Every structure is written in structure tokens, then in C-alpha cells.
Amino acid sequence: MHELLTSGEMRAADARTIAAGTPGRVLMERAGRAVADAVSARHPVGTRVLILCGPGNNGGDGFVAARLLVTRGYRVEVALLGEREALKGDAALAAADWKGPVAAAAAARPDEARIIVDALFGAGLARELDGAARTLVEAVNGSGAHVVAVDIPSGIDGDSGAIRGTGVRAHETVTFARRKPGHLLLPGRLHCGHVRVADIGISDDVIAGLAIGTRANHPAWWRPQFPVPALDAHKYRRGHAVVISGGIAGTGAARLAARGALRAGAGLVTVASPPAALAVNAAQLTAVMVRPVDGADGLAAFLEDSRINALVIGPAAGVGPATRRMVETAAGRQRALVLDADALSSFAGDAEGLRGIAGAMGRSGVILTPHEGEFARIFKDQSDVVNAPSKLERARAAAAATGAVIVLKGPDTVIAAPDGRAAINENGTPWLATAGAGDVLAGIAAGLLAQAMPPFLAACAAVWLHAAAGERVGPGLIAEDLPEALPAVLRDLLAGIDE
């Protein structure tokens, strides 16, 4: 149920269902019924409902909802954007079954409605809203009515979440079969309100047959591979993660990451500290160990210990050749890697260099955790990456370009694998927008890599756990709280209580 369908994939699902014997008009009837159900679930019979229908099948769903709501006793008004004679196919059939008046869109009075059903544009949105469509959407947004969007708020691009000209701000959205990327990606998500998925008879088999590559990031699909210590576990079986510390004025970030890795379950975690910062690190670490490691040569010597199997490089590490050499040293010794912050900025404009790193890693895997600023810095010369049509596709293109798992952070974090799989995260809280939160995320990812979780799933799990920890702490959250919130999050996760 967590697949996210593009408009093209939804069309394919529709076509396959119709080919298997369910007429399109029946799908539309079920879609319209789900919209009518959403209205009648919350609003008393007799309430005035304005249904705004567009020129395509989204409008057809609106005509069905109008007919059903009248039979249930609602005071329904229908306004159509475009000419009734221009309606085609199932939408024309649905309009013919509506026996009430149809006003022109220009005559609609959104400000007088209690409820507005937005059935203007759905998956067929093809360009920016302008003219009458734009005026109507702006009137809806200014109306104060409760707005129910059909499929996706009109003006929101279902594939990218972008606003095309202007976009309806809905209180709830009823979509069909599965959600679409635009329901999760910003700014689309902010326009959708509560999203409910209605079953209109597109089967799970049809969806499975489409081999959908994008999902909402949900534990259901990575929990089976989530590392849980066996009865006879010992710490070395749970992996040894290492975090490279910055210099004397920049040690906190590494400690945050290290604490995240330890709480995520790595058996041992060591902060590898420049000798000059050793005392600062040592004074503040207990369960996390600390070792003096001097530059790339020091790291090479430290990595003689083959039990060290995952590293975080980047938090407060410093931008420049010294950090790059650390990354190259770790990659050459085929340890799983999480590259964050300064390690990413050390590859500004050099996606090719990162590709070399991922190429040197063999099967160990590398996870890159850029925020938007770092992402833009790395890929500034890769127009196919920076100009991809959505955050989802940018992350996917970046993963393909580097051969690394990409975690493109933010309120709608996208996790993408080089093989094209991608997940959009939806849990979390804006309280995570605080210094050091990203360092903890890098550490959690490394903790899972140390326990041999496959890199893409480890990245998905880390993002979800980090966000769930953020939700649990909530107001007042500081980065130090996140590792400490993990035990309760993990307990619920492993008990199957999904947040």
C-alpha cells in the first residue's frame, strides 16, 4: 500500500484494470462515490456543497459526487470550467447522469459555499493555471469553505508536488488506488490536508505488475531486514562504527553522530580524533570510545583493524583536501561509508569524484546525506541532476550519477538508490530543524550499516527512526535528545507499533 504512483503509472493501472473487464465509467463511479462519502462523513445533510468540475475525468468524478450527494440530501451546486459539449468519454457520461443545473465557472460563488469539492484538475494537469482556472482557484482559497480535493488539489503536480501557477489549498484530499508523489513532496503536501486513499477496484496485482519504483518510507518494507541482535550476539557481531572528529573547535558533531550510531545498535563506536582534540573528546565520551587518529595516514593505520566496518566522515571535519583524503582512504579499504556535511562540500562540483569513491567501495556501499545546499554544491555542474523535475527525480538522478545512496534531506526527505528505487519520508517534525540533527542522522545510518543492513534500506530506516525520535521529543528538541529517544522508538518499531 505504500507505493506512490506517477500520473503515467496511474494511467497504466487504469488501462490494465479496464482491459481486465472493469469499465472506466465504473472506476469513475467508485471514485465519485468515495468523494461523496468524504463529504457526508463530516457534514450534515442539507449542507450547501459547491462542486467545481474541470474539463477532464477529474471533473467527471465531480459530476458523480454531485449526483450522489443530492440523493443523500445535500444542497448541491455544480459549476463547470469549460463547455459541457466539450466533455468526452466517461466524464461526458457522468455529466449526462447529473440532472441538475450546471453553472459556468465564472458564475460560481465559492465565498457562499460551506463545502467546496475541487474536481477541476487531477492527474491530467498539463500546464500552469491561468485565466479563469486561476481566478477560480484563488476564489476557492479565499472562501473560508471546507475544501475536499478530488485526487489532488488542482494546480498541484501529482508527480512533483510543484504548484503550477496556483494551487487549491484543501482540507482533505481523496485519491484513488495509491497516493502520488505530489501528496508527499513539498509544497504539494501542504496543499493536500488529510489524504485518504479510496479503493476503486484497481487490484494489488495490477499495481504489483507495474513494478513501482517509488514508495512512501514506511517500516513495513525495511523492518524484515532491520538488525536485531541474536540470542548469542556479542558486540563484535553488531559491528564497529567509527566517526571522524573535527579539530579542537569542532568535536561536538562527531560525538552526536557517534551517540546516534551506538543507539542504533552498533556493537562498538569509536570517535577517531585528531590528537590535538583528544582530550576534549575523551572528557565527554563514555560508552563511545575515542582514539587518536592523525589524518588520512592515521586512518589507514587505524583501519588495519578489520572489525571496523562503517564510518561517518564529514560532520565538522573541515572542507578540503585533508577530508577528501580521509574519504578516499576509507573507501579504498572498502568500509561502508556515510558522507555528510564537510565531506560532501569537499566534493563541490565533483560528482565524478564521488562516483570514484562509490566505485572503490565494492559491495560495502556509501550513503550521502546532503541537505539542499550541499546537494546544490556537489551537483552544480550536472544539469541533468539539478534540473530534474522534482526533488524525487533529483535524488534519483544523483544516485545514478554517483553510484551512492542519496539521502536528500528536508521536511520531505528523499532516499534514492542507484538502481532507481526511491522512498519519500513523511514522518518527522519541524522541531528537527536544529543544529546537529543531521549529524545524528548520519550516525544512525552508520550504526545500521555497521550491523550489515543493506545501504538503501539502512538509509530509509535511519531517516524514519530519526524522524520518529524527533516526533517523540517534539517542542524544545535539541540534537542531543535524538539518540536518547531511540530506545522507545525502537521498542515500538520492533513490537510492530508503527507511528
Pick between residue 154 and residue 251 the one whose CB is nearest to K ion. Answer: 154
Pick between residue 99 and residue 127 the one whose CB is nearest to ligand NAX. Answer: 127
Q: Choose one: 112-120, 209-217, 260-268, 332-340; the region binding K ion (CB under 5 A).
A: 112-120
Residue with the shortest CB distance to K ion: 154
- Binding partner of 430, given ligand NAX, ligand ADP, K ion, none, CB within 5-8 angstroms per partner class: ligand ADP
CB of residue 51 to ligand ADP, shortest distance in Å: 34
Q: Which of residues 169-198 bind K ion (CB under 5 A)?
A: none
Q: Which of residues 111-150 bind ligand NAX (CB under 6 A)?
A: 121-129, 133, 150
Site string for ligand NAX, 173-192 (x = CB under 6 A): ---x----------------
- Binding partner of 31, given K ion, ligand ADP, ligand NAX, none, CB within 5-8 angstroms per partner class: ligand NAX
Per CB under 5 A, the list member of 57, 154, 166, 329 interacting with K ion is 154
Does 60 sit near ligand NAX (CB under 6 A)? yes
Per CB under 5 A, the list member of 118, 157, 340, 412 interacting with K ion is 118
Pick between residue 81 and residue 486 the one whose CB is nearest to ligand ADP. Answer: 486
- Binding partner of 61, given ligand ADP, ligand NAX, K ion, none, CB within 5-8 angstroms per partner class: ligand NAX
CB of residue 155 to K ion, shortest distance in Å: 8
Q: Three-class SS string for the chain?
A: CCEECCHHHHHHHHHHHHHCCCCHHHHHHHHHHHHHHHHHHHCCCCCEEEEEECCCHHHHHHHHHHHHHHHCCCEEEEEECCCHHHCCHHHHHHHHCCCCCEEEHHHCCHHHCCEEEEECCCCCCCCCCCHHHHHHHHHHHCCCCEEEEECCCCCECCCCCCECCCCCCCCEEEEECCECHHHHCCCHHHHHCEEEEECCCCCHHHHHHCCCCEEECCHHHCHHHCCCCCCCCCHHHHCEEEEECCCCCCCHHHHHHHHHHHHCCCCEEEEEECHHHHHHHHHHCCCCEEEECCHHHHHHHHCCCCCEEEEEECCCCCCCHHHHHHHHHHHHCCCEEEECHHHHHCCCCCHHHHHHHHHHCCCCCEEECCCHHHHHHHCCCCHHHHCCCCHHHHHHHHHHHHCCEEEECCCCCEEECCCCCEEECCCCCHHHCCCCHHHHHHHHHHHHHHCCCCHHHHHHHHHHHHHHHHHHHCCCCCCCHHHHHHHHHHHHHHCCCCC
Residues at the site binding ligand ADP, with contacts judged by CB under 6 A: 341, 371, 409-411, 413, 428-430, 432-433, 435-439, 441, 466
Query: What is the contact surface with ligand NAX in residues (CB under 6 A)?
Result: 10-11, 14, 27-28, 31, 54-61, 121-129, 133, 150-151, 176, 200
